[in-house]
Chains A and B, each alone.
With several copies, the nearest count.
Chain A
Amino acid sequence: MAEMNLAQAVNDGLDAALGADDRVVLLGEDIGRTGGVFRITDGLLEKYGPRRVYDTPVAESGIVGAAFGMAIAGMRPVVEMQFMGFSYPAYDQVINHVARIRNRSNGRFTAPMVIRIPFGGGIGAAEHHSESLEAIYAHIPGIKVVVPSTPYDAKGLLLAAIEDPDPVVFLEPIRSYRAVKEEVPGIYYTVDIGPVRVERAGTDLTLISWGAMMKETRSTAGALEAEGISVEVIDLHTLSPLDSNGILRSVNKTGRAVVIHEAPRTGGFGGEIAAVIQERALYSLQAPVLRVTGPDTIFPLKRSESHYLPSVEQITAAARKTLES
């Protein structure tokens, strides 16, 4: 087992997939010669050649639409959108075609493909480079939406996504790409898409998050534990299909929950989670499910980034408020 960060783990997963399955091909802007703007596909063109790894024109709809056709014809394309902010030109292809062909053809044609999308802020990037609009993908019937927050998960979920008979949007938290390293098996393995990942067991409070915000969520949990508060931390890691029971199991135990995401509050996926909890566990709730999120603003440029991203302080404050009720 080697120590890898999340970026390396995704690269390792792509490598494993290309090695294990001839039907896997990679398409994306600058993913070949340069290995992509985040170097996630580094070395794969050299290793697998130009018939497996394709640099493409700057045309997101074309990339997703062509990969979709390849998938129908039996391949397993994995495409990279350079940043979530640049995935919107392909939104029509995703919602109107990729997500619908199985339904449209009553199962006769399917689109087993993966759309990798780096997302989220915190690196002082230019406009459009810090988007976190997972909610607009999680609301699309017919696809799955996966979000790893750890290197181990990243590789295992990616391989599961590539194996999945249905299309998967695979969201990669930019801020976490090189944040931490952990042991990642060199072998081919998968992590189940669906079930929540209970990262830390606790009894007083449930913190629920995904992607890059797991970092602040973990820190908060750690700090609260130090005060003797037992915190359960859930890494949702699959937004769609949502594992309601996994969430409810935890909240029925703790009676308190805070959902954390960096996407804008209104219409963010945190609303869905709070809704599900109060729908099915209202009577075990000791306090309202609180949301600590980005505000309903556009993700700001570098100098204002700290005004936007939820902080450990904000999460802690929400947690205390919940515990005090």
Chain B
Amino acid sequence: MRTLISPDGTVTDRLPLTLDQMKDLYADMVEARAYDRKSIAMQKQGRLATYASFEGQEAAQIGAAAALERDDWVAGTYRDAALMWRAGYPWSNLVAGRTGDERGGQPPEGVNVLPPSITVGGHMVHAVGLAWAEMLSESGRVALTSFGDGATSEGDFHEAMNFAAVYQTPTVFLCQNNGFAISYPRAEQTRSETIAGKAAAYGMPGVDVDGNDVAAVFLTVSEAVERARSGGGPTLIEAVTYRIGPHTTADDPGRYRTEDTTEEWRRRDPLIRIRRLFEEAGEWSDGWGEELETRSAERIEAAVAEAESLPQPTRSEMFHRMYAEITAPLLEQLGESDG
């Protein structure tokens, strides 16, 4: 398993990024965590529907997104807010989605990030089709799909992996192995030692990487993206990480795991190790740290304000959203005044 920066911040191998680039990634992780914290708080206040925290997975998501071009495709899940945002999907859309507003699923034109997949498994093969289309149009675009360890148990994982390999589509499969499918631990999900190892069944390269090491994730995904862009076909990447929070705000991890393991993983926090690295290199200042915090808080607050300022969606919108042109039955049903 590839690591470039160990939990204590020591660099164990050549870094693919300049210090400035590292600072940007760190700043992004700080901003992502601010969003995560804010969302949890808002959910408690009843301002959001259930929320799936990604705390602990910031490096996997920010590092992966940083390896993409602005117009590459991304198909992720309910837990990939950081990844989606770094790929261009506005925080305000993400917040709106969680307030229960379909308009959240509508990122700006030019942002090729699909709204989060709520079903487990089905969306991976979409990234095969997206990449397939780009391959045919020779646009050079690739498609990255992100999913969890649990998703690899679905038949759709198998079909997606196989199609990508058979047609050699420029698809990057990013599995964030965060240890659990809700309460079901990775060790019980499959007897395969690693998830990366499953790639061999499809004649596809598979690599595992320390998912809490933003530099290692960036490098690994960059290599896969490069392979895809240059016609080398798909890659499966297993980013080994851990879900620090509950599955969602509706979940109680106490029922299936011990605080000790979680504590252990807290010590491998993806932000802390980068901060230590900066400290070692004498590149850290508390002032800068606070600056990032305030800037992030401001941006998230602005996004929340924007999302919450969206007018109450109307009944009519619900009908008109269904087809390019509203159908006769929908028009009739819309017409039926209450009752």
Contacts and interface: CB of A to CB of B under 8 A. Distances in A.
A303 B312 CA distance: 7
Interface string B155-196: 110011011001100000000000001111000111000000
A114 to B, nearest CB: 14
Contact of A62 (B78, B160, B330, B334): B160
Interface string A47-62: 0000100111111011
24 contacts: A30-B181, A30-B184, A32-B183, A33-B183, A34-B182, A37-B250, A57-B150, A57-B159, A57-B163, A68-B125, A69-B126, A69-B132, A70-B129, A71-B129, A73-B133, A89-B155, A97-B122, A110-B324, A144-B323, A166-B323, A265-B329, A295-B334, A296-B329, A301-B102
B324 A166 contact: yes
B156 A194 contact: no
Interface in B312-331: 312-315, 317-319, 321-325, 327-330
B192 to A, nearest CB: 12
A186 interface: no
B106 A65 contact: no
B339 A58 contact: no
Interface of A: 25, 29-30, 32-35, 37, 51, 54-59, 61-62, 65-75, 77, 85-86, 89, 92-93, 96-97, 101-110, 124-129, 141-142, 144, 164-166, 194, 241-245, 265-266, 292, 295-298, 300-305, 307-308, 311, 313-318, 321
Contacts of B78: 126
Contacts of A55: 183-184, 188
B339 A124 contact: no
A315 B339 CA distance: 7
Given A59-B153, A243-B328, A73 B134 contact: yes
Given A37-B250, A194-B328, A303 B339 contact: no
Contacts of A73: 73, 129-130, 132-134
Nearest to A320: B339
A236 B120 CA distance: 33
A325 B160 CA distance: 56
B162 A62 contact: yes
Nearest to B323: A166
A307 B190 CA distance: 43
Contacts, number: 263
Contact of A61 (B125, B166, B255): B125
Contact of A75 (B136, B160, B322): B136
- 10 closest A-B pairs by CB: A69-B129, A302-B100, A317-B339, A62-B159, A73-B133, A57-B153, A65-B125, A241-B327, A165-B324, A301-B100
B216 interface: no
Contacts of A61: 122, 125, 155-156, 159
Contacts of B330: 241, 295-297
Given A92-B122, A301-B102, A65 B159 contact: yes
A86 B119 contact: yes
A268 B114 CA distance: 30
B49 interface: yes
Contact of A127 (B114, B118, B143): B118
A104 B105 contact: yes
A238 to B, nearest CB: 10
Residue in B50, B100, B129, B155 with the greatest tally of chain A CB atoms within 10 Å:
B129
B13 interface: no
Contacts of B105: 104-106, 108
Given A51-B136, A315-B339, A126 B50 contact: yes
